[in-house]
Structure 1
Amino acid sequence: MKYIKKSEEPESFTVWKNLANEDWQPSWDNFSKPQKTDVHDSLLQEQGFICCYCGRRITKDISHIEHLKPRYPYTELVLEYTNMLASCQRERERKEPLHCGSKKDHWYNEDLMVSPINANCEEFFKYTDDGQILATDNSKKLAAETTIDKLGLNIDKLKDLRAKALEPILEIINTITEGERQDLIIGFSETDYKGYYEEFCDAIIYLLKN
């Protein structure tokens, strides 16, 4: 899981919400273009175009606006930008198992959910060479294990994709110098010139560090 530093909400979204009056109130039901598009674009940009939960590459077409704390029962947070993320699996392929925001659905538990907007969230997960994501041994182990389960982060599809992303690093990990290793860690920790993180960069960085 990659830490997401939330940015300011789009100005158009703020202006739209401030239009509230006695006859009209902004709600999820009337939240639409262009404000909804602006919010979706902003979420993708602040996440470096990777899923908030699994780290897959996402675009607007294959992602949806996810609520960290679900719309029900947290109705007061439905239009709160700090509660919004961009998750993959907008539409499920035939027979594809649910994962990430689609699997999480209305589940949320303050004590058992590791949130990607928590600055230290990356500390609670580790990755294996074959693409598994596991909980590290610390005070958040149960929360990390529950999060992995509730988001379906270890389904075969995601394990296979992670393993494929790790292959190039595994091929060179024992041949590079310490300086080259540090340069790679820095490189994968930053977005490219287009604002994109490398797909599954969190798993790649973990492998390079460990």
Structure 2
Amino acid sequence: MKQIKKTKEPQSFSEWKAKANSDWKPAWENLQNPEKVDILEKLIEDQHGICCYCEARISVESAHIEHIVPRSIDIRKRLSFSNLLASCQKETQKGDPLTCGKSRGDWYDKDFYLNPCDENSRKEIIYLLDGNVTVQNKNFKIFIEKINLNIESKKRARSNVIDIFTDLDTSDAQKILDVWLSEKVYHPYISAALTAAKELCGIEY
């Protein structure tokens, strides 16, 4: 996972919460647009346009707001911007395999949840050249399983990115990565690309 560096919450969200008075308290259940879409847009911007977990390309139309500590576990963090992420799979069809936030549901174990905002979490995830994802410490395998990162569609998407680097020389691979990492929106599955560049082309980032 690419580490997410959070910025300030949208001003509209701050102003909405500041309206609290003796008759009305801000709550997740009464959060509506435009504040809600402003939050999602800011989360996607902070994440450079990719899902917090799988790194698929996301947009306001395709993403949903994910709580690091689920709403059912800690009511105090429901409206904390630092507790919010943007995850893929806003809508699913019957029979679609769930992944990322949709697959995780309300699961949270502070000892085994890998927070995408944490540098140590980024280092824990290992991207393999066959498109699979695993972890350094086997105790974190539960995280990979809970967010279902190894479903076939995700493996295939990562493999397609990895294949780009198969026959590239170091110079060409470097040019591609320089572009992908400099743009406002990262290339989807950028961590798989970084792994491929290192393993196949000898490029360290």
Which of 123, 136, 139 pairs up with 1:142? 139
Q: Which runs of 5 or more residues in structure 1 are unaligned?
A: none
The residue type equivalent to 1:108 in the other structure is Y
Equivalences, count: 199
Q: Which residue in 1 is equivalent to 2:30?
A: 30
Task: State, as a whole percentage, how many aligned pairs show the same letter.
Answer: 35
1:110 offset after TM fit, Å?
A: 0.6
Three-state SS of the structure 1 residue aligned to 2:142 is: helix
Question: Does structure 2 conserve the Cα–Cα contact (< 8 Å) formed by 1:2 and 1:121?
Answer: no
When residues 3 and 199 of structure 1 are mapped into structure 2, their CA distance, relative to the original with a 3 A threshold, is: same
1:184 offset after TM fit, Å?
A: 4.3
The residue type equivalent to 1:14 in the other structure is S
Alignment of 1:1-210 (within 5 A): 1-136=1-136, 140-143=137-140, 145-172=141-168, 176-177=169-170, 179-190=171-182, 192=183, 195-210=184-199
1:42 offset after TM fit, Å?
A: 0.3
| TM, length-normalised to structure 2 | 0.91
| TM, length-normalised to structure 1 | 0.89
The whole-number CA distance in structure 1 between the counterparts of 2:181 and 2:126 is 16
Question: Does structure 2 conserve the Cα–Cα contact (< 8 Å) formed by 1:48 and 1:197?
Answer: yes
The residue type equivalent to 1:206 in the other structure is T
> Could you list the per-position Cα deviations for residues 69-125 of structure 1 after superposition, in whole angstroms to 9, with x for gaps in the alignment?
100111110000000000001111342111100011100111101110102322112
> Could you list the per-position Cα deviations for residues 142-199 of structure 1 after superposition, in whole angstroms to 9, with x for gaps in the alignment?
12x1211110001111111111122111232xxx13x554454444333x1xx21000
The whole-number CA distance in structure 2 between the counterparts of 1:164 and 1:99 is 19
The residue type equivalent to 1:202 in the other structure is S
The residue type equivalent to 1:204 in the other structure is A
Three-state SS of the structure 2 residue aligned to 1:120 is: helix
The whole-number CA distance in structure 2 between the counterparts of 1:123 and 1:52 is 15
Q: Which runs of 5 or more residues in structure 2 are unaligned?
A: 200-205
Question: Does structure 2 conserve the Cα–Cα contact (< 8 Å) formed by 1:101 and 1:151?
Answer: yes
The whole-number CA distance in structure 2 between the counterparts of 1:171 and 1:161 is 18
When residues 187 and 126 of structure 1 are mapped into structure 2, their CA distance, relative to the original with a 3 A threshold, is: farther
The whole-number CA distance in structure 2 between the counterparts of 1:160 and 1:180 is 23
When residues 65 and 102 of structure 1 are mapped into structure 2, their CA distance, relative to the original with a 3 A threshold, is: same
Three-state SS of the structure 2 residue aligned to 1:41 is: helix
The whole-number CA distance in structure 1 between the counterparts of 2:59 and 2:74 is 27
> Could you list the per-position Cα deviations for residues 14-73 of structure 1 after superposition, in whole angstroms to 9, with x for gaps in the alignment?
111011010000001110011111101100111111100000001111110010110011
The whole-number CA distance in structure 2 between the counterparts of 1:189 and 1:125 is 19
